[in-house]
C-alpha cells in the first residue's frame, strides 16, 4: 500500500477539518509516497509502541492520540514524545493520528461506545454549526440529471440519513456571448434566452471544492453561473458526544455493572443516582465534562465520560448520574474501529492491534 491511499481513506471517513482547534491530527511522521508493509493500531504512540511496530514489521502507526500536540523545537530524547518521534524517523516508521476528527463524526469513537452498550436511536449530543453550505447552480434543462448526479456522487445532497436531496426551480436565463467565447447555445454578440433549472444542494464545507469541480466537469456551459452560501444549520452527523436508549430499562446498579464489564473498567466513579432505573444514555469518549448540560437537556438518565474533577461531580445536582469510567477505558475500542474500517476497504492490507496497554493509570 502507498501511505497516501491510506491517509486519503481515513481522511474521507473523518475529515481533518473536523478536528478541534487545539488538535494535531494527520500525518505527523512520514511521506505520502512511502510504501507501507503493514500498520500497527494503538490508542497512543509511545517509544514502546514504535518498538512494537518495528518488531512486527509495521512501518505505519495509526494512533488515536497525536504524539505531538504543540510544536517540537528540539529532538534530544529528553521526554517520551521526542524519543518516540526520533525512533520513528530513525526506523522509517510513519505516524498518523486520527483524534478529535474521529470523535466528531457520527460513525466514530462515540458510535463505537454506544454499540458496546447496545444503544438504539442514537444521535449526536452536541451537533456542530457552520459546517454546511448551500450550492446553487443554473443548468440548462437538457443537462439537469447529469449535473445533479455528478454533484451527488461527489458528496452533495445529504441531509441526515437522506441522500440525493435537492430543490429545483425552472426559469429562464439569459446571456450574450463575447467575441472570444465558444457558447454551448446561442450566437456570439446576441443575447440568448435559455430554459434552465436552478438547482440547490446542501454541501459540507470540506467537500465543496470537490463538488464544484464535479459539477463543472459535466456542465455544458463555458462559464458556469453558481453561488455558494454559508449556512448556520447544525450538521446532524457531526459533533461531540452521543445520546441513545437501551432496548430495555435497567436498574442503576445492573447498568453500572454492565458498563464496567463492557469497558473493562477497574472502577467507576459516579454520582448518587437520582432515580432507580436507566433508559436514556449520553456518553462521550475521553474528556467530556463540557457536555453535561447537553446530556441533561437531552433528558439522559446517565452521562458516561472521563477525566471528571472532584468539584465537577456536584454539577449533576440531582438531575443526572455522572459516570467516569476512565479516559483509556472509554476510547480503547477505537483501535478496533480503525482496524475494521481498514479491513473493509483494503482486504489484503495487514493491520495489527497493539499488544501493549498504554494506559498510564494503574489501579490498586
Please give the Cα distance from 7 to 169 (Å, whole number).
Answer: 39
Select from 283, 277, 310 the least CA-distant residue to 295.
Answer: 283
pLDDT at 160 over 90: no
pLDDT at 247 over 90: yes
pLDDT in tens, 256-271: 999 999 999 999 999 9
- Of all residues in the chain, what percent carry a pLDDT higher than 90? 98
pLDDT in tens, 72-94: 899 999 999 999 999 999 999 99
Average pLDDT over residues 335-349: 96
The confidence band for 138, taking pLDDT boundaries of 50, 70 and 90, is very high
pLDDT at 70 over 90: no
* Beta strands 226-231 and 132-140, pairing class: antiparallel
pLDDT at 31 over 90: yes
Cβ neighbours for 317, distance < 8 A, ≥ 6 positions apart: none
Judge residue 269's burial from the number of C-beta atoms within 10 Å of its C-beta, 0-12 exposed, 13-18 middle, 19 or more buried. Answer: middle
Please give the Cα distance from 173 to 11 (Å, whole number).
Answer: 39
Please give the Cα distance from 91 to 87 (Å, whole number).
Answer: 6
Please give the Cα distance from 130 to 52 (Å, whole number).
Answer: 41
* Beta strands 269-270 and 321-324, pairing class: antiparallel
Average pLDDT over the chain reads 97
pLDDT reported for residue 239? 97
pLDDT in tens, 181-224: 999 999 999 999 999 999 999 999 999 999 999 999 999 999 99
Please give the Cα distance from 213 to 150 (Å, whole number).
Answer: 9
pLDDT at 71 over 90: no
pLDDT reported for residue 321? 98
Average pLDDT over residues 136-147: 97
**Structure-block grid coordinates of residue 158:** 445529504
Amino acid at each position: 500500500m502507498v501511505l497516501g491511499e491510506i491517509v486519503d481513506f481515513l481522511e474521507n471517513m473523518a475529515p481533518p477539518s473536523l478536528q478541534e482547534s487545539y488538535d494535531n491530527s494527520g500525518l505527523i511522521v512520514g511521506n505520502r509516497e512511502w510504501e507501507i508493509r503493514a500498520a500497527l493500531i494503538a490508542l497512543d504512540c509511545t517509544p514502546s509502541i514504535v518498538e512494537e511496530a518495528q518488531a512486527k514489521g509495521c512501518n505505519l502507526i495509526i494512533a488515536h492520540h497525536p504524539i505531538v500536540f504543540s510544536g517540537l523545537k528540539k529532538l534530544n530524547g529528553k521526554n517520551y514524545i521526542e524519543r518516540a518521534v526520533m525512533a520513528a524517523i530513525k526506523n522509517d516508521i510513519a505516524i498518523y493520528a486520527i483524534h478529535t476528527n474521529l470523535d466528531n463524526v457520527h460513525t466514530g469513537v462515540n458510535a463505537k461506545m454506544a454499540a458496546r452498550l447496545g444503544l438504539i436511536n442514537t444521535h449526536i449530543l452536541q451537533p456542530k454549526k457552520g459546517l454546511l453550505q448551500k450550492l446553487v447552480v443554473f443548468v440548462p434543462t437538457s443537462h439537469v440529471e447529469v449535473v445533479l448526479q455528478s454533484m451527488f456522487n461527489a458528496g452533495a445532497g445529504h441531509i441526515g440519513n437522506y441522500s440525493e436531496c435537492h430543490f429545483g426551480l425552472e426559469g429562464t436565463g439569459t446571456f450574450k456571448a463575447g467575441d472570444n467565447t465558444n457558447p454551448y447555445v446561442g450566437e456570439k454578440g446576441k443575447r440568448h434566452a435559455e430554459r434552465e433549472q436552478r438547482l440547490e444542494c446542501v454541501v459540507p464545507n470540506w467537500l465543496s471544492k470537490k463538488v464544484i469541480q464535479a459539477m463543472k466537469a459535466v456542465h455544458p456551459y463555458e462559464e458556469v453561473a453558481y453561488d455558494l452560501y454559508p449556512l448556520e444549520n447544525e450538521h446532524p452527523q457531526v459533533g461531540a458526544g452521543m445520546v441513545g436508549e437501551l432496548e430495555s430499562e435497567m436498574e442503576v446498579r445492573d447498568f453500572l455493572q454492565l458498563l464496567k464489564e463492557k469497558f473493562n473498567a477497574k472502577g467507576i466513579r459516579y454520582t448518587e443516582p437520582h432515580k432507580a432505573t436507566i433508559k436514556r444514555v449520553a456518553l462521550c469518549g475521553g474528556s467530556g465534562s463540557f457536555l453535561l448540560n447537553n446530556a441533561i437537556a437531552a433528558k439522559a438518565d446517565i452521562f458516561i465520560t472521563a477525566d471528571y474533577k472532584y468539584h465537577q461531580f456536584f454539577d449533576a445536582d440531582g438531575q443526572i448520574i455522572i459516570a467516569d469510567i476512565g479516559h483509556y477505558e472509554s476510547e480503547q475500542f477505537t483501535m478496533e474501529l480503525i482496524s475494521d474500517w481498514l479491513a473493509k476497504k483494503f482486504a489484503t492490507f495487514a493491520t495489527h492491534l497493539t499488544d501493549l496497554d498504554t494506559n498510564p493509570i494503574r489501579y490498586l
